[in-house]
Amino acid sequence: MTDNSIKHVLAVGAHPDDIEISCAGTLARYVKDGTRVTILTLSSGDKGTFDLPAEEITKIRENECRAAAAVIDAEWIGFGIPDGTIIWDEKLHTRMIQAIQQAAPDLIITHSPDDYMSDHVETSKAVTSASFFTVCPQFCAEDGKPASIVVPVFFMDNICGVGFLPSEYVDITDTFDTKLAMYDKHESQHTYLAERQNQDFFEVIKTSARYRGLQCGVTYAEGFRRYEVSPRLSCERLLP
């Protein structure tokens, strides 16, 4: 069971399918335990196609995000930043602070700071920095209010687990099919990723979850690493 202090989880991904690939099983566990989940996607996914115009694929991917979130009755929010242009600058810093203040989560999940590409790394920087400053009223939007605490942050696994050593695991055996169902909603990417990266991402998801499961003695698992800095630490288990 999830610690009862966790009522709302915010999962922040760079691209429209990142959350589904890396931590959807855990989000489904949270929802089963009665925790509310919000998914925030920074980019529009406008480069995720070989032949469609940017406006068309952007709309398709927004609809896919909403459909995937709906599988677990989660809320979805998008920033609409073009793929490949996420930069942790003053504009994104303030925007992220205010998004976190508005969501008021008890825990945030996002990319590892040493993930494999710039959009993921910049998203990680934006989240870790912004979440610290959410307690400052000077950053509040007109209708917003500062956070009461600096929220704990957990980094989700890198693609295929490369270069990522988990410090905590979540058993997703019972929610693995839900994780696949969420990723399945990103239909526009199934063939595109297979052709671009020569990878079947259903197999990537299954193999990665099985490998993490082997590490912790269950059938399927997701791995996480806590952002271990003061004042974000706790004696309590915060993951499901």
Structure-token pair, residue 199:
């990878």
96-136 pLDDT, tens digit each: 999 999 999 999 999 999 999 999 999 999 999 999 999 99
Q: What is the pLDDT of residue 101?
A: 96
Domain with residue 96: its CATH number is: 3.40.50.10320
Contacts of 188 (CB under 8 A, 6+ apart): 48, 49, 57, 60, 61, 64
Q: What is the pTM of this model?
A: 0.96
53-91 pLDDT, tens digit each: 999 999 999 999 999 999 999 999 999 999 999 999 999
Question: Is 149 among the domain residues?
Answer: yes
Confidence band for 227, pLDDT divided at 50, 70 and 90 = very high
Question: Is 1 among the domain residues?
Answer: no
5-33 pLDDT, tens digit each: 899 999 999 999 999 999 999 999 999 99
Q: What is the pLDDT of residue 3?
A: 56
Give the chain's domain count: 1
For residue 119, what are the domain limits? 8-226
Where do we find the tokens 């709309």? 59
167-199 pLDDT, tens digit each: 999 999 999 999 999 999 999 999 888 888 888
Question: Is 212 among the domain residues?
Answer: yes
Question: Is 51 among the domain residues?
Answer: yes
Question: Is 122 among the domain residues?
Answer: yes
- Distance between CA atoms of residues 148 and 196, nearest Å: 44
Listing DSSP states for 129-187 in one string gives: HHHHHTT-GGG--TT----SS---EEEEPPGGGTT---SEEEE-GGGHHHHHHHHHT-H
Contacts of 137 (CB under 8 A, 6+ apart): 145, 146
Q: Which residues pair with 38 in a beta bridge?
A: 10, 75
Question: Is 68 among the domain residues?
Answer: yes
Residue 1 scores a pLDDT above 60: no
Question: Is 199 among the domain residues?
Answer: yes
Question: Is 231 among the domain residues?
Answer: no
